[in-house]
Amino acid sequence: EAGVAQSPRYKIIEKRQSVAFWCNPISGHATLYWYQQILGQGPKLLIQFQNNGVVDDSQLPKDRFSAERLKGVDSTLKIQPAKLEDSAVYLCASSSGQYNEQFFGPGTRLTVL
Amino acid sequence: DQQVKQNSPSLSVQEGRISILNCDYTNSMFDYFLWYKKYPAEGPTFLISISSIKDKNEDGRFTVFLNKSAKHLSLHIVPSQPGDSAVYFCAARAVSSYGKLTFGQGTILTVHP
């Protein structure tokens, strides 16, 4: 069974630029999560989708971050414009149900200069 | 507001000895607790979990203990192996959270041969 795929793996941008990350969850997984992991901290949930609907986006900085999950499968997370403090690893995870095991992708490491 | 805390940033043990990783939480609504293991450049992978109705759960070399009155859990690895060297994250979930996980900061475990 293929795992959660993410791209790109690494991205370096300058502040005020925009960036987008892509996630392909495990086939059949209805629940998809985006986490932000800042160096030295644990992952923090940004947004959770159930199929193509948003379940929780309470910690998503909506003035600059946006996310969508078209057709309830792939998802993209966008930052526009980026700030220095957005430097982090962005992890995508999926699960077959909201209370089932979450499987994580390898993450995208973003550096904002 | 750090609801899940891992106060030891790092732990170093000798191969064959016991590794004990600790985690404290503050939210009384948490009823399910998990440990994840993370290698460099990979996403976290699920290791072991425990429900609040139990005080111990074992899986091979890994045992998780939960002390609800103290809001404390610990992960024991016996015997420790060099391949166990990784970052370990404690995570917690509340029954009404749609599966949302709150992570601790992580503990870097190094097992020396």
Q: How confident is the model at residue B97 (pLDDT cuts 50, 70, 90)?
A: confident
By C-alpha distance, the chain B residue nearest A37 is: B105
pLDDT tens column, A16-70: 999 999 999 999 999 999 999 999 999 999 999 999 899 999 999 999 999 999 8
- Residue A111 near residue A87 (C-beta atoms within 8 A): yes
- Tell me the HSE value of A31 on the side-chain side, using a 13 A CA sphere: 16
Share the mean pLDDT of chain B.
95
Yes or no, beta carbons of A104 and B45 under 8 Å apart = yes
Count of domains observed in chain A? 1
- Cis peptide before B40, with omega less than 30 degrees from 0? no
Report the CATH number that the domain containing residue B84 is assigned in CATH: 2.60.40.10
**What residues make up the domain containing B29?**
4-112
By C-alpha distance, the chain A residue nearest B103 is: A42
**What residues make up the domain containing A82?**
5-112
Phi, psi of A75 (to 5 degrees): -140, 150
**B49: exposed, middle or buried (Cβ count in 10 Å: 0-12, 13-18, 19+):** middle
Count of domains observed in chain B? 1
Report the CATH number that the domain containing residue A86 is assigned in CATH: 2.60.40.10
Which of B61, B72, B67 lies closest to B109 in space, CA to CA? B61
pLDDT tens column, A75-107: 999 999 999 999 999 999 999 988 889 999 999
Say what the pLDDT of residue A98 is: 83
How far is Cα B20 from Cα B17, in angstroms, rounded to an integer?
10
**A101: exposed, middle or buried (Cβ count in 10 Å: 0-12, 13-18, 19+):** middle
User: For an interface test with B, which of A102, A103, A108, A109 has the most B Cβ atoms less than 10 Å from its Cβ?
Assistant: A102
User: For an interface test with B, which of A44, A104, A109 has the most B Cβ atoms less than 10 Å from its Cβ?
Assistant: A104
Say what the pLDDT of residue B71 is: 97
Cα dihedral sign, B44-B46-B52-B58: negative
Q: Both tokens of residue A93?
A: 């995870």
Which of B20, B22, B21, B92 lies closest to B51 in space, CA to CA? B92
Would you tell me which residues 42-81 of chain B have a C-beta closer than 8 angstroms to some C-beta of chain A? 42-46
Rounded to an integer, the average pLDDT of B27-38 is 95
